């Protein structure tokens, strides 16, 4: 056994050993396996590939931008409902239902939002309308952009990450929006960025962390494979995963409904 299977299985062993009345205290007060997804952007083929890759989990967190850019908004939302996702609102989600002003959108993104708004069914619209901008449970805060500006701010540097530390009270903050997987850590007033190397466990340790799982539906770090994050609050580790999916399936569906060609092409390059 190697890689993800061994990491997950090791944690499971410890968990069952402690299950008889002496449960170890995880960061949420109970051991938890949590999958963290963000920026799915109506890309069902990518979500399906991630779903097939998921080990057994206790919770699924989704950090917004569920829709926008891609061709299957209703199908993606139905899948997340089936999976019991704990979701927050992203700028594209709010723009698609008219509750967020899309002032920052480039012409391609705006065109995709107009198309999305025209095809959203009642179920999807109602789902997006219920999403909070900030979700706090136990030791986790989840936002799309940043804790101090949940819809719009991009956390792209250690200094921006550190400036956001005072805007959330839990030990861990999960965020998305940049489509770039990364961890920012703060210990003793010092901030550092940790690279998100797939399948290499990162210790959750004693530091306060901001973690970005990267993007499921439109990765922008030069790797077209979907990116997501697993947290094991029992073993106190995090691990990034990359999952290749059939980009051509999503691209064909995008062409069929005349979504902007630049949005179709960028999926091939992960940009």
Cα 40 to chain centroid, rounded = 8
Number of neighbouring beta carbons within 10 Å of residue 32: 19
Residue of minimal Cβ distance to Zn ion: 65
- Would you say 32 or 243 has its CB closer to Zn ion? 243
Regarding 65 and contact with Zn ion (CB under 5 A), the answer is: yes
- Would you say 39 or 75 has its CB closer to Zn ion? 39
Regarding 39 and contact with Zn ion (CB under 5 A), the answer is: yes
90 vs 263: CA distance, rounded Å: 18
State the helix-helix crossing angle for 73-82 and 44-53, rounded to 10 degrees: 20
Q: Which of residues 217-256 bind Zn ion (CB under 5 A)?
A: none
Regarding 133 and contact with Zn ion (CB under 5 A), the answer is: no
The residue behind tokens 């960025």 is 193
Q: Which of residues 143-202 bind Zn ion (CB under 5 A)?
A: none
- Would you say 40 or 161 has its CB closer to Zn ion? 40
Q: Is 248 exposed, middle or buried (0-12, 13-18, 19+ CB in 10 A)?
A: exposed
Min separation Cβ 131 and Zn ion, Å: 14
- Would you say 178 or 236 has its CB closer to Zn ion? 178
Regarding 48 and contact with Zn ion (CB under 5 A), the answer is: no
Min separation Cβ 39 and Zn ion, Å: 4
202 vs 63: CA distance, rounded Å: 20
Residues in contact with Zn ion, counted by CB under 5 A, come to a total of 2
- Would you say 28 or 50 has its CB closer to Zn ion? 50
Min separation Cβ 33 and Zn ion, Å: 25
| Residue 93 CB partners (closer than 8 Å, separation 6+) | 64, 65, 66, 67, 68, 100, 128, 131
Binding site for Zn ion (CB under 5 A): 39, 65
């Amino acid at each position: 056994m190697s890689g993800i299977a061994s990491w997950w299985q090791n944690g499971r062993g410890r968990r069952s050993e402690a299950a008889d009345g002496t449960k170890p205290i995880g960061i949420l007060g109970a051991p938890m396996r949590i999958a963290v997804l963000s920026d799915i952007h109506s890309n069902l083929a990518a979500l399906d590939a991630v779903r097939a890759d998921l080990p057994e989990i206790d919770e699924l967190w989704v950090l917004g931008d569920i829709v926008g850019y891609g061709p299957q908004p209703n199908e993606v939302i139905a899948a997340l409902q089936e999976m019991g996702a704990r979701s927050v609102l992203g700028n594209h989600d709010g723009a698609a239902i008219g509750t967020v002003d899309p002032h920052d959108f480039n012409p391609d993104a705006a065109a995709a939002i107009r198309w999305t708004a025209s095809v959203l069914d009642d179920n999807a619209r109602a789902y997006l309308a219920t999403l909070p901008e900030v979700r706090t449970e136990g030791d986790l805060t989840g936002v799309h952009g940043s804790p101090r500006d949940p819809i719009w701010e991009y956390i792209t540097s250690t200094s921006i990450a550190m400036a956001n530390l005072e805007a959330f009270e839990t030990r861990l903050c999960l965020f998305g929006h940049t489509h770039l997987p990364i961890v920012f850590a703060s210990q003793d007033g010092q901030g550092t960025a940790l690279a998100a190397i797939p399948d290499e466990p990162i210790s959750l340790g004693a530091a306060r962390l901001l973690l970005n799982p990267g993007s499921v539906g439109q990765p922008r770090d030069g790797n077209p494979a979907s990116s997501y994050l697993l947290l094991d609050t029992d073993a106190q580790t995090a691990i990034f995963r990359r999952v290749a999916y059939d980009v051509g399936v999503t691209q064909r569906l995008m062409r069929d409904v005349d979504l902007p060609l630049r949005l179709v092409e960028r999926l091939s390059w992960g940009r």
